[in-house]
Amino acid sequence: MRYLKLYARFIPIYFKSKTEHGFGFYMDFVGFALSHIVSYAVIWALMSRFQTINGWNMYEVMIIYTLNMLTYAIAAVFFFFQMNDVEEDVHKGSFDSLLVKPINPFIHMIIRSFGHFFLGDIVIAILMLGFCFSRLDLHPNLAAYAGFVALLLGAVLIQAAFIVITGSMCFWIVRARAVMNVVIFGIRGFADYPISIYSKVLRVILTFIIPYGFVNFYPSQLILDKEGGSLFVSWLPYATPVVGLILFFIAYRVWNAGLNRYQGTGS
């Protein structure tokens, strides 16, 4: 709780410092938003031509894309730039400053920065979810909303776990950013569309090895009540919160293993 209060005091100070840059601060949101507008245009163009892909219509595919964007953006607010800063600190020898403070280094890593770039993504995603729900005539009840929040939290933990795991590679290799780019900007891109359209090998990878399928595909099966859409077993669409907790626990262990390996600058 003490850390949450500290973070709550830090965020207004952070925004005050950033808004001093004026136009550049607001362009951060615009730049990130434009990339997603292009992606939605691609989905619209693709689905206008084919109508459905493997039983998923345009608005259902947009929900899959939007859930991937939303959960990643929420996770990235608290972890993406923070893990990038860790890599730079390790290489410059300034990471020791996190170790001498009377606070858990993992918590310190999180609360010393804030990924404001991704707030625009979150707003766009929420608006798009509302739009798609309206077009599909979905009217969830209170219990359905509670389940949706649980799925969303699990998906955010999965996204955060991959950011932490790949970012923690900086304790072992010279540049972890290449690994992060492959996993987060490469493999995660496969989850922008229903993973049922891919080969069995890729479906296995996206379910059991690098489980991005639990971020949006399996939750979408529940949200959209897609019958007979389970790729392997019927309970997988319910597993996102559990997968998220397990994967984030593994990510934290990887972080701690990296800390134990870190030797410092020697000065």
Domain ranges, ordered by start, for the chain: 22-261
Taking the C-alpha atoms of residue 251 and residue 163, their distance in angstroms, rounded to an integer, is: 9
Is 72 buried (19+), middle (13-18) or exposed (0-12) by CB count in 10 A? buried
Amino acid of residue 191? A
Tally of CA atoms within 13 A in the half-sphere of 108 that contains its CB: 12
Phi-psi region of 137 (alpha: psi -120 to 50; beta: other; left: phi over 0): left
Please tell me the predicted confidence (pLDDT) of residue 142: 86
The closest alpha carbon to 230, from 247, 213, 242, 243, belongs to 213
Taking the C-alpha atoms of residue 119 and residue 116, their distance in angstroms, rounded to an integer, is: 5
Phi-psi region of 199 (alpha: psi -120 to 50; beta: other; left: phi over 0): beta
What tens-digit pLDDT sequence spans the chain (267 residues)?
Answer: 677 777 777 777 777 776 666 666 667 667 777 778 889 999 999 998 888 998 899 999 999 999 999 999 999 999 999 999 998 888 887 888 888 888 889 998 998 888 888 888 999 999 999 999 999 998 888 888 899 999 999 999 999 999 999 999 999 986 778 888 889 889 999 999 999 999 999 999 999 999 999 999 999 999 998 865 567 888 898 999 999 999 999 999 999 999 998 876 554
Please tell me the predicted confidence (pLDDT) of residue 14: 73
pTM (2 decimals)? 0.92
Contact yes or no for 187/215 (Cβ under 8 A): no
The H-assigned helical ranges of 136-168 are 142-168
